[in-house]
Chains A and B, each alone.
Chain A
């Protein structure tokens, strides 16, 4: 890690998101700090994806505030996001995808970083292949690599283990551990990958758009994870 990770706070203040009359998130407040690895658990439809997308800045809350870093209107902290969909261009090659996003993020000389990530993700041999030809597992690796381009200080992951084989999962777990230890804040929603839940320093269970349990309050991570079967 070359760039130092700035202290980060992600704060939700009474965030509500309604779709018509459906309340996806109800007046949710929480704070996530620099270096925390938070695992989000909950049934389908409990609001995990909505929470992550709001944190990423993709969804605009119906009410409430989301504050990233200490200033309310602070500069965009470096946020990486791994979503349900790959968010990759099928008609471009692996390295073209990485170069594209690296340039958009404003990384001046993207080549070394792209090289590094391709190596880490085990995609060096397939760098010049169109993503369309990739397996699900390879796409997932590339998506994760893309999220890491900017050396994010906040990494949001929505069921990141989907499609990954065991080596892939081990790589992801190792990468996340390194990031966490370097001070990056991690928020990931899981559906029962024990490799990844072992990383958690905090667990939050969502139910119907509200926080049902938070290990920061209850004190222990395991019980929160276990109830949801993670």
Chain B
């Protein structure tokens, strides 16, 4: 249907733009890497300690990185007022949100996947045996971050102090995602790794709730 087609077209645009400049993924990756390194100074990264603190640190780093990476999502559309062009061209404004949240999920996931092996090496954590499951958890968590994050990006881009406001609005909202993702990740890095479907289902519920809210109310965010 037109909604998905438009979302697909716009997603193509987002990906093409990022492919050309690679600015989002590279800066986000470096940022997360920096956080991971800095954290190593705050506790003794033995294997046992890493498995205790690692998942939390990882997801905190992802959340902070996302708060930065999500800024340009809607800000970019303000430079030449391309947002108005999109609103005129697209019959359902939700397509704009869908495209951006898909793009943001992909960018976030990409940086996470690039970072995970580095994290595993630096902190002596075994990830390879649970790689596919970890990927699933990363995906579920990243979708949650992107759904809420894209909405908040649309909101904060219209306010003052937007760089500070975005994390302020987003991080409390993402508390459930942080908890669920950290728990699921920790369970996979434990001695007896287990995939926590209960937390995954919870993440799924979070995604559905916010996606629905975005679908219902998102167009009001784009109005003038």
Given contacts A60-B224, A91-B20, A96-B16, contact A104 B86 (CB under 8 A): yes
Q: Which residues of A contact B17 (CB under 8 A)?
A: 89, 91-92
Q: Which residues of A contact B87 (CB under 8 A)?
A: 57-58
Instruction: Contact check, B80 vs A87: say whether CB atoms are below 8 A apart.
Output: yes
B6: interface (CB < 8 Å): yes
**How far, in angstroms, from A96 to B21 measured CA to CA in the complex?**
16
Instruction: Contact check, A58 vs B88: say whether CB atoms are below 8 A apart.
Output: yes
Q: Which residues of A contact B6 (CB under 8 A)?
A: 103-104
User: B82 is contacted by which of A89, A96, A103 (Cβ under 8 Å)?
Assistant: A89
B87 to chain A, nearest CB (A): 6
B79: interface (CB < 8 Å): yes
Given contacts A58-B224, A60-B224, A83-B81, contact A89 B13 (CB under 8 A): yes
B223: interface (CB < 8 Å): yes
B46: interface (CB < 8 Å): no
B177 to chain A, nearest CB (A): 31
**How far, in angstroms, from A206 to B80 measured CA to CA in the complex?**
27
A46: interface (CB < 8 Å): no
B212: interface (CB < 8 Å): no
A157 to chain B, nearest CB (A): 14
Given contacts A83-B84, A104-B90, contact A92 B16 (CB under 8 A): yes
Q: Which residues of B contact A81 (CB under 8 A)?
A: 84, 88
- Quick one: which of B55-94 are within 8 Å of A by CB? 79-82, 84-91
- Quick one: which of A56-78 are within 8 Å of B by CB? 56-60, 76
B10: interface (CB < 8 Å): yes
A54 to chain B, nearest CB (A): 9
Most central of B2, B10, B85 by chain A CB within 10 Å = B85
Instruction: Contact check, A104 vs B9: say whether CB atoms are below 8 A apart.
Output: yes
Q: Which residues of A contact B223 (CB under 8 A)?
A: 59-60
Given contacts A58-B224, A81-B88, contact A87 B13 (CB under 8 A): no
**How far, in angstroms, from A88 to B89 measured CA to CA in the complex?**
13
**How far, in angstroms, from A104 to B88 measured CA to CA in the complex?**
9
B22 to chain A, nearest CB (A): 12
Q: 1/0 contact trace for A197-214 toward B, CB 8 Å?
A: 000000000000000000
B83: nearest chain-A partner, CB-CB: A87
Q: Pick 15 A–B contacts, CB within 8 A, sort by A.
A: A59-B223, A60-B223, A84-B81, A87-B81, A87-B82, A87-B85, A89-B82, A91-B21, A92-B16, A92-B17, A96-B16, A100-B9, A103-B9, A104-B9, A146-B85
- CB-based closest 5 A-B pairs: A87-B85, A104-B89, A85-B81, A103-B9, A59-B224
Given contacts A76-B91, A146-B85, 9 further A-B contacts (CB under 8 A): A58-B88, A85-B84, A88-B82, A89-B17, A92-B16, A92-B17, A103-B5, A103-B6, A104-B9
- Give B residues with C-beta under 8 Å from A: 2, 5-6, 9-10, 13, 16-17, 20-21, 79-82, 84-91, 223-224
